[in-house]
Homo-oligomer: A and B are copies of this chain.
C-alpha cells in the first residue's frame, strides 16, 4: 500500500501548507517582465477553463545547457574535460602529435584549436571520448567533475549552474511540464550528472553523439563507443534532435545563443500558446557579459529575432537576484 501512504502524506502536506508550492515559485527572479511572462504563460496553459489550456502530455519544455543552465565561459566545460583528458592520454598516443589540431591542444595552443573550428573540436572529442562503454565513459566524466574546478570561480562545475533556472525547471515540472535538455554537448557527458543536478533523467537528455556498437566483450554483451560522429545537436540540428527523440514539438524553448535559434523558431511557430526565452549574459561582475562577439555562446541573430518573435530576453544582471546556488 505504498500508493496509499504516498497519497496520505501528500494530502496531509497540502492541508497543512496549502500555499507552499505556488508561493515559493521563482524566488531568485526579480519582479519584472521576464518573471511575469513566464508565470503568465504557465498560468494560461494550465488553466483547464481557459482557451489556451494544454494537456500535460503536450507540456514539453526544452532547455539548452551551456550558457542557459550552467556557465560556458571561458570555454565549454566539456572542452576543458577533453583537453585535460587529451593531455593525460597523450603519452600513450605518440601518433596524436602528427595531427596539427591534436598537437596544438596538447601544447595548450588554444588559438590553433579554435581556428580548426567544429571539425577540430570533433577530432578532440573522437580521440578522448571513444573506446569504452557508455557506463565507463560516464564514470570517467563523474570522476573528472568531482575534482575539476572552474578557473575563475574555483568551484566544481556542477555548482556553477544558474539558481534562477533551477527554480524555473522545478516550477515547470510542478505545473505538469516535462523538461528536456537539448544541447550541442555530448549526450553521455551530460547524462553522467544531470539527474543529480537538474533532476533530469537520462532519457530526457538530447545531445550530440558519437556512434556506439553492440559487441561481445569478454563473452558479455556490451556497447562500445566508436570514434565516429553520429549526430550534431546544434543549430538546425536541434529541431531534428527534438523530433527524433521527443516526437512532439515543444511548447516552450529556453536558450542563450544562435545555436538555439532554430529550436526557438520551430518551437514558437507551432499553433496555440508558445514560449521562447533567451538568457542574455549581461553580468560581468557576478558571471560574464558576452553576446555578439563571443565564440562560446555566440548570440547575434537570435537576439535580433527576439522582439518580432515575441521571445522573452532575460537580462541576467537585472532579472536575477542571485546567479549561483548557495554554497553547500
A106 → chain B, closest Cβ, in Å?
Answer: 30
| A294 within 8 Å of B (CB atoms) | no
| A327 within 8 Å of B (CB atoms) | no
Mark interface residues in A207-238 (1 if CB within 8 Å of B CB, else 0). 00101111000001111000000100000110
Copies in the complex: 2
A58 → chain B, closest Cβ, in Å?
Answer: 10
| A21 within 8 Å of B (CB atoms) | yes
| A295 within 8 Å of B (CB atoms) | no
Nearest CB to that of A237 among chain B residues?
A: B214
CA distance in complex: A284, B240 (Å): 43
Interface stretch of the complex, out of A89-97, A156-164, A261-269, A318-326: A261-269
CA distance in complex: A15, B220 (Å): 47
Inter-subunit contact B266/A239 (CB<8 Å): no
Contacts of A57 in B (CB 8 A): 195, 201
**With A14-B4, A191-B247, A245-B203 as given contacts, are A239 and B265 in contact (CB-CB < 8 Å)?**
no
Inter-subunit contact A240/B223 (CB<8 Å): yes
User: How many chain A residues touch B (Cβ–Cβ < 8 Å)?
Assistant: 51
Mark interface residues in A36-71 (1 if CB within 8 Å of B CB, else 0). 000000000010100000000100000000000000
Contacts of A188 in B (CB 8 A): 247
Given B135, B213, B244, which contacts A187 in the complex, CB threshold below 8 Å?
B244
Inter-subunit contact B247/A205 (CB<8 Å): yes
6 more A-B contacts (CB under 8 A) besides A7-B14, A134-B243? A1-B14, A57-B195, A134-B247, A212-B240, A212-B244, A221-B265
Q: Residues of A at under 8 Å CB distance from B?
A: 1-4, 7-8, 10-11, 14-15, 18, 21, 46, 48, 57, 134-135, 178, 187-188, 191, 195, 201-203, 205, 209, 211-214, 220-223, 230, 236-237, 239-240, 243-249, 262, 265-266, 269
Q: List 28 A-B contacts (CB under 8 A).
A: A1-B18, A2-B46, A4-B11, A4-B18, A7-B7, A7-B10, A7-B11, A57-B201, A134-B243, A134-B247, A135-B249, A187-B244, A191-B247, A201-B247, A202-B246, A203-B248, A205-B247, A212-B240, A212-B243, A212-B244, A214-B237, A214-B262, A220-B269, A221-B266, A221-B269, A223-B239, A223-B240, A245-B245
